[in-house]
Chain A
Amino acid sequence: MKPSVWQRLDVIARGLVPAFSVFVLLLINLLPIGLPLLSAASPSLALMAVFYWSVNRPDLLTGLTAFLLGVLQDLLLGLPLGVSSLVLLLVQTISANQGRFFHNKSFVVMWWGFALVAIPSLLVQWLLSSALIGALLPIKATLISYMLTALLFPIVAWLLARTQNSLLRYV
């Protein structure tokens, strides 16, 4: 039986959920929060989401989507253009290829995997930003950012897992 127009639209809309969730997390990253620590270095929420979706649903968050979300992140956060695109694209490709490793394993394994992937990602981001700005950026802020990113991953992953279970079970 051929699916009706509405059914197809529904499938398309659900397919856009991963990309949309990254966009929402980007906006959450932008919220002015009255904590001194967060204004100096913020967790990279987009990185967590791109990793999560690439492991669990690489068919719905492709390299191109990761690239475009990176452009958006650079534009919104005022970073040198192209840096986040490269980082998110690499994270997407690597996690999508190695994603099967995390299937049917406990969440802690995935957490460790993310903590490992986040190190080179943030380092590349720091190095390229420094090179493009033309001065070495303080590494301390990047370290704090890494700590926050690694520690907050379970919360974001839990939220994304809830989203995945409720919206993407049959897509």
Chain B
Amino acid sequence: MAQHGGPQQRIFSPLRTALHRFAFILLIFSAFGLMLLGKADTVLIERIRAASADLVSPIMSIVSRPAASIDEFTDKLYNLAHLYEENERLRRENRQLLAWQQAARNLSHENNRLRDLAHYTTPPSLNLVTSRVIADMGGAYAHSLMISAGSRDGVIKGQAVIADEGLVGRIAEAGYQASRVLLITDINSRVPVIVENSRDRAFVSGDNTNRPLLTFLTADASVAPGDRILTSGHGGAFPPGIPVGIVSSVSENAVRIAPLFHRHQLEYLRVANYGLHGILSEQRIRQSLSPKNPAATNLAPEIPAGVGVVPDDSEIQAGQANTSEQTQEGDRP
């Protein structure tokens, strides 16, 4: 800063201070303005967020590689040290899995026969897009990841994101070449689920801890620690039957589940395009706002609900058109 005071300095210095103060107040107000805007116009903010993800994704996809290779190295060291026990464990597991495979074959055969008998219409087929995790917005406030697949790969907002172990989250914003995944542990996440054994319906609601809550359980539902939780497919957002977690604790006022994935170990994720557009797509929201059929109720009947629901003919065709488009692009590693 210039210290030599002159007549000019004497006039402009207070002016500059006033200007600084004014700019500061203006910026404070714009910060609050941004908060209001973020609450009011979510569609615009989503577009901007998606664009910013696109902006950094080329850098992140390069920079995240060395980080991943360091992980690989530590993994290798660990594996080398535990080779013997791991081998024993896998042998045991393999024996069990072979037995399960036999059971699954029998059941799948029986299932096909029964489906034929009952003229069951199969739900739309799953179309998976595999992509790499390029960023982890690890933090106390938001549980989300960035993946290197976007609308060019057929990824749309609202689609389910799956790891080898089970459900990870859903697409919150899809950019052109990168998207943000909202984890099921995030406070904004709600996933319709069923308890595997009792078929009780509920929601998995994140609360920014590692153990999301099981909410909206009926009073007579029977849940015990160790029960598996699967997606129910209600609302048409997620395919049914994806494992979500295992009930970890049951108390008077809260049932918590342990997700099946370890956030720090996520490396490759698959985005499931189920042919249904999900309840979250803007197109669907617009449709439900103005029902074409005057006799339609306000319950938005065009939203398919339930396991193995049959979409309309037009929807199946649209789904097929989608699939044929995406098989070309979706095969990309």
Chain A interfacial positions (CB closer than 8 Å to B): 27, 29-36, 38-42, 59, 63-64, 67, 70-72, 74-83, 85-86, 89, 93, 125-126, 128-129, 132-133, 135, 137-138, 141-142, 144-145
User: Cβ of A78 and Cβ of B135 under 8 Å apart?
Assistant: no
User: Cβ of B31 and Cβ of A89 under 8 Å apart?
Assistant: yes
B227 touches A (CB below 8 Å): no
Q: 6 A-B Cβ contacts within 8 A?
A: A32-B266, A36-B264, A71-B34, A78-B49, A80-B141, A126-B140
B63 touches A (CB below 8 Å): yes
User: Cβ of A63 and Cβ of B38 under 8 Å apart?
Assistant: no
The 10 closest A-B pairs by CB, nearest first: A82-B34, A141-B140, A81-B38, A82-B35, A86-B31, A30-B135, A34-B71, A32-B136, A78-B142, A75-B52
Main secondary structure of the interface of A (DSSP, over half): helix
B306 touches A (CB below 8 Å): no
Partner of B209, one of A82, A138, A145: A138
- Kindly list chain B residues whose C-beta atoms are within 8 Å of the C-beta of A85: 27, 30-31, 34
Instruction: Give Cα A125 to B48, complex, Å.
Output: 21
Instruction: Give Cα A27 to B135, complex, Å.
Output: 9
Residue with the greatest number of chain A CB neighbours at <10 A, chosen from B1, B67, B140, B265: B140
Instruction: Give Cα A80 to B187, complex, Å.
Output: 12
- Kindly list chain A residues whose C-beta atoms are within 8 Å of the C-beta of B24: 63, 89, 93
Instruction: Give Cα A71 to B56, complex, Å.
Output: 14
B155 touches A (CB below 8 Å): no
Known: A80-B38, A81-B45. A30 touches B136 (CB 8 A): yes
User: Cβ of B141 and Cβ of A129 under 8 Å apart?
Assistant: yes
What class of interface size applies to chain B in its complex with A?
A: 35 or more
- Kindly list chain B residues whose C-beta atoms are within 8 Å of the C-beta of A74: 34
Partner of A137, one of B27, B71, B138, B208: B208
- Shortest CB-to-CB span from A55 to chain B, Å, is 15
Main secondary structure of the interface of B (DSSP, over half): helix
- Shortest CB-to-CB span from B204 to chain A, Å, is 15
- Kindly list chain A residues whose C-beta atoms are within 8 Å of the C-beta of B184: none
- Shortest CB-to-CB span from B314 to chain A, Å, is 35
Q: Per-position contact with A for B1-38: 1 when CB-CB < 8 Å, else 0?
A: 10000000000000000001001100110111111011
- Shortest CB-to-CB span from B186 to chain A, Å, is 8
User: Cβ of A38 and Cβ of B138 under 8 Å apart?
Assistant: yes
Known: A38-B264, A78-B180. A32 touches B140 (CB 8 A): no
User: Cβ of B180 and Cβ of A82 under 8 Å apart?
Assistant: no
Instruction: Give Cα A28 to B211, complex, Å.
Output: 27
Instruction: Give Cα A79 to B23, complex, Å.
Output: 24
Residue with the greatest number of chain A CB neighbours at <10 A, chosen from B1, B35, B52, B141: B141
User: Cβ of A41 and Cβ of B142 under 8 Å apart?
Assistant: no
User: Cβ of B141 and Cβ of A81 under 8 Å apart?
Assistant: no
Instruction: Give Cα A47 to B235, complex, Å.
Output: 41
Residue with the greatest number of chain A CB neighbours at <10 A, chosen from B63, B75, B144, B264: B264
- Kindly list chain B residues whose C-beta atoms are within 8 Å of the C-beta of A63: 20, 23-24, 27
Partner of B140, one of A31, A33, A128, A145: A145
A34-B74, A78-B49, A93-B24 given; name 19 further pairs at CB < 8 Å.
A30-B56, A31-B64, A32-B266, A35-B264, A40-B210, A42-B138, A72-B52, A75-B48, A75-B49, A77-B141, A78-B142, A82-B33, A82-B35, A126-B141, A129-B141, A133-B187, A135-B207, A137-B208, A145-B140
B83 touches A (CB below 8 Å): no
- Shortest CB-to-CB span from B31 to chain A, Å, is 4
Instruction: Give Cα A106 to B23, complex, Å.
Output: 33
Known: A31-B135, A32-B266, A138-B208. A82 touches B141 (CB 8 A): no
